[in-house]
Amino acid sequence: MKILITGGAGQIGTDLLHHLHGKGAKLSVFDVAGPPEGLPPGVRWYRGSVDNPSELLDAVKDAAPEVVYHFAALLSATGEAAPHRAYAANMDGTRNALEAARLFGVRQVMFASTIAVFGPGLPDPVPDDVPLQPSTIYGVTKVAGELLGGYYKRKWGLDFRGVRFPGLINAGVPGGGTTDYALWMYVEGIRNGKYECYVGPESTCPMMYMPDALRALVELSETPVSRLKRCIYNIAAISPTAAEFAAAVKKRVRGVEITYKVDPARQAILDSWPRRLDDSCARADWGWKAAYDLDRMSDDLVPKIRKMVGVF
């Protein structure tokens, strides 16, 4: 199968690329960054910006994918620092990706949505269908992306699907999100023996280990359309407090010191998001179920981060 990933050099894109390569997909990437070292053989790399329509349209025309995974976006913390850039990348970028798909006969677009579409004051856990009143430009643009994709499906029959990702954790470098503190605890804890966390110890939000996230994308992409009752699904895995993450790191990395110095801006963003998600629609429609809890994830992750940062 021919697949193009926008944002293929980012946190999800990098891991999905290797995952799909292992499954025999014929892959292309579109990203503002150039190709990294260790790129799997045979991957075509198009360098460009999603908010530049001609760069993205040319790449989609040339690569002629059946499926586009559209990940290119500025995340919540980076987006608040540069709202106009976030608008261009996330709003114009998603419109351009959908237009490219429509014009060049892409069968399916997979969209990375997020818990950032939610605002404060919602039930716990938060179900799929609630009023969406996000507090960040990132959340606003992701709500718009969900709605625009649904419009392309109704108007032009594009097979648009997506998941609302929790904060994602992998052996990689986080990319400007508010939920990055969890991954930094592991990375900095292993690299430097200490980490100063920018949210308080009781902070809680939905999180997920990357292998679960990749499996969710592929499983949703492969589910027959007749089984899907909606385009966008909540998916849930774990919701530890920051202190519980710290304890999981300390249990596996001797002598680590985790301290807390709250950054009010990022704490406010995190506090506006759900603590837990209700993913019963994904479970019912396509059999979704996360496999990794905090312990299983930490046991798998710590050796991988040790290898990544070269500290054993």
Q: Which residues are catalytic?
A: 138
Q: Assess 179 for contact with ligand AKB (CB under 6 A).
A: yes
Q: How far apart are CA 280 and CA 284, in angstroms?
A: 6
Q: Assess 197 for contact with ligand AKB (CB under 6 A).
A: no
Instruction: Kindly give, in sequence order, each residue whose CB lies less than 8 Å from that of residue 188, ignoring residues fewer than 6 positions away.
Output: 194, 195
**Three-state SS annotation for 15-33:** HHHHHHHHCCCEEEEEECC
Q: Please, what is the minimum distance in Å from the beta carbon of residue 234 to ligand AKB? A: 13
What does the angle CA 151 – CA 57 – CA 10 come to, to the nearest 5 degrees?
85
User: Which lies closer to ligand AKB via its Cβ, residue 28 or residue 272?
Assistant: 272
Q: Please state, in angstroms and as integers, the Cα–Cα distance from residue 40 to each residue in 8, 15, 17, 227, 230, following that order.
A: 12, 11, 8, 33, 34
Q: Please, what is the minimum distance in Å from the beta carbon of residue 117 to ligand AKB? A: 9
Q: Assess 94 for contact with ligand AKB (CB under 6 A).
A: no
Q: Assess 162 for contact with ligand AKB (CB under 6 A).
A: no
- Looking at residue 164, what DSSP letter applies? E
Tokens of 259: 């301290």
- How many of the chain's residues bind ligand AKB (CB under 6 A)? 11
Q: Do 135 and 266 contact (CB within 8 A), yes or no? A: no
Q: Please, what is the minimum distance in Å from the beta carbon of residue 58 to ligand AKB? A: 29
* Pairing mode, strands 257-260 and 26-31: unpaired
Give the residue, chosen from 6, 14, 76, 239, that forms a contact with ligand AKB under the rule CB under 6 A. 76
Q: Assess 116 for contact with ligand AKB (CB under 6 A).
A: yes
Q: Which segment (29-37, 47-55, 114-122, 214-222) binds ligand AKB by CB under 6 A?
A: 114-122
Give the residue, chosen from 4, 43, 56, 75, that forms a contact with ligand AKB under the rule CB under 6 A. 75
Q: Do 282 and 232 contact (CB within 8 A), yes or no? A: no
Q: Assess 178 for contact with ligand AKB (CB under 6 A).
A: yes
**Three-state SS annotation for 57-82:** HHHHHHHCCCEEEECCCCCHHHHHHC
Per-residue mark of binding to ligand AKB, 17-56 (x: CB under 6 A)? ----------------------------------------
Give the residue, chosen from 115, 197, 213, 238, that forms a contact with ligand AKB under the rule CB under 6 A. 115
Q: Assess 177 for contact with ligand AKB (CB under 6 A).
A: yes
Q: Please, what is the minimum distance in Å from the beta carbon of residue 48 to ligand AKB? A: 23
**Helix (H, G, I), strand (E, B), or coil: what is residue 209?**
strand
Q: Which residues bind ligand AKB (CB under 6 A)?
A: 75-76, 114-116, 138, 165, 167, 177-179
